[in-house]
A and B are shown apart, each in its own frame.
Chain A
Amino acid sequence: MGSEVRAVSAEQVALRDRLIDAGHLIPSGVDGVYGHSAAFEDLREALGTRISAEARTRGATRLTFPPVLPVRQLEATGYLANMPHLAGTVFSFDGDDAAAAVQGTRASAHEDWSEFQAPTGVALMPAACYPVYPALARRGPLPAAGAFIDAGGAWVFRHEPSTDPARRQIFHQHELVRAGTPETVLQWRAQWAQLGLDLLTGLGLEARLDRANDPFFGRRGRLLAANQRAQELKLELLVPIAGPEPTACASFNHHLDHFSSTFAITGAGDDPVHTACLGFGHERIVLALLARHGLDPDRWPAEVQDRLGAPR
């Protein structure tokens, strides 16, 4: 629990090496930052299409956001206090000709050039649902049925370099967001916990649902995590990928009024507005499928290929 560095198992490192040898992962030299093979991306895109189709048939509206967030929005959410160790903010050059020359010289020698950098006002996206809340607030009061948004598979950044191929610094998180009355949101989360479980087990994965907490930072984080567990605000779908510990491949988060009060999302009547989100980890699910069915998707069971809708 909390912000401790997670131990990496020998099985996880061995899987990463096999994936690199097979060409599915293209190492960058930085842990947790990889390119993907065409086969990997075909699977990831098929998965995203499948999730979006499930959401669309249940009334979701698709919105797309870039992988950076205005820093002011990040500041408003409390993320920089609650998960400061995961945040990545974007800096850029701020100086004159002389400073540019020194920066260039130091950079060529791989020395520290950070003193010439200044904040740009944007941060890397920490969670793909974050831009959805201010976008909902801009629309004015929610309709009576609330809102259901599919933010698609979007790039998110978490500063937690690891040799576990399932723990990326940058990856695709496919977020579905529901806003509405407390009862509406709770029912939606229960419905999608089952749909998510059915989706993954239907692909041949041994998924199970469990109570979880966010990786909040430090001592304040321990209390936040304990509160989150006591209130059952976060559930995860755990799937074996490599090693004895299963990996969270999807999470279901009930925010109560945290985002609706932060961004002033109002309802149709007097009922308070709550929000919840469901995030599928695209790469983790693809990794789980490759670990389960083998590194050559052409040789997977036809049933799994059909259910994923993967190109053959």
Chain B
Amino acid sequence: MSETTREQIRDVIGAHANLPVDIRELGDAADLFAAGMTSFASVNVMLGLEDTFDVEFPDTMLKRSVFASVDAILEALEALGVALV
């Protein structure tokens, strides 16, 4: 069984967000910036999501709130036409 979209998002965050805590300890609504993700790390998360889901975030989505939580990222990917699993 392949990963769910949420699990894939969590894998990208785990690989790129450089969080001082384990992503598994954070809920889907938890604020990743409050958990210690820096602005520079959020750029790597953005690029990691683009690679994983084969999408390109438009300029209007290149803002802090879009990458602030697993839920926010899921919502953005859905808006870009990613089929959620």
Contacts and interface: CB of A to CB of B under 8 A. Distances in A.
A226 B39 CA distance: 9
Given A220-B46, A223-B46, A228 B62 contact: no
Nearest to A227: B39
A299 interface: no
A227 B67 CA distance: 10
Nearest to A230: B64
Interface residues of B, number: 14
At the interface, is chain A mostly helix, strand, loop or mixed? helix
At the interface, is chain B mostly helix, strand, loop or mixed? helix
User: For this complex, into which size category does the number of interface residues on chain A fall?
Assistant: 10 to 19
Given A222-B59, A223-B46, 6 more contacts: A219-B62, A220-B46, A223-B62, A223-B63, A227-B64, A230-B65
Nearest to A78: B40
A220 B43 contact: yes
Interface of A: 78, 82, 219-220, 222-224, 226-228, 230-231, 256, 258
B64 A224 contact: no
Interface string B44-85: 001100000000010100111101000000000000000000
Nearest to A225: B62
A82 B38 CA distance: 14
Contacts of A78: 40
A224 B39 contact: yes
A82 B63 CA distance: 16
Interface of B: 38-40, 42-43, 46-47, 57, 59, 62-65, 67
B67 to A, nearest CB: 8
Contacts of B43: 220, 223-224
B64 A220 contact: no
A203 B64 CA distance: 38
Q: Which 4 A-B pairs have the closest CB atoms?
A: A227-B39, A222-B62, A226-B63, A223-B62
A223 B60 CA distance: 10
A254 B83 CA distance: 40
Given A78-B40, A220-B47, A230 B62 contact: no
B40 A224 contact: yes
Nearest to B46: A223
Contacts of B63: 223, 226-227, 230
Contacts of A222: 59, 62
B42 A227 contact: yes
A219 B66 CA distance: 14
Nearest to A219: B62
Nearest to A257: B38
- Best-buried of B39, B40, B57, B64 by chain A (most CB within 10 Å): B39
A226 B64 contact: yes
B77 to A, nearest CB: 16
A222 B57 CA distance: 11
Nearest to B61: A223
B85 to A, nearest CB: 26
A44 B39 CA distance: 36
- Best-buried of A226, A228, A258 by chain B (most CB within 10 Å): A226
A258 B39 CA distance: 10
A231 B33 CA distance: 11
A183 B29 CA distance: 28
- Best-buried of A78, A223, A231, A258 by chain B (most CB within 10 Å): A223
A213 B28 CA distance: 30
29 contacts: A78-B40, A82-B40, A219-B57, A219-B59, A219-B62, A220-B43, A220-B47, A222-B62, A223-B39, A223-B43, A223-B46, A223-B63, A223-B64, A224-B39, A224-B40, A224-B43, A226-B63, A226-B64, A227-B39, A227-B64, A228-B39, A230-B63, A230-B64, A230-B65, A231-B39, A231-B64, A256-B38, A258-B38, A258-B40
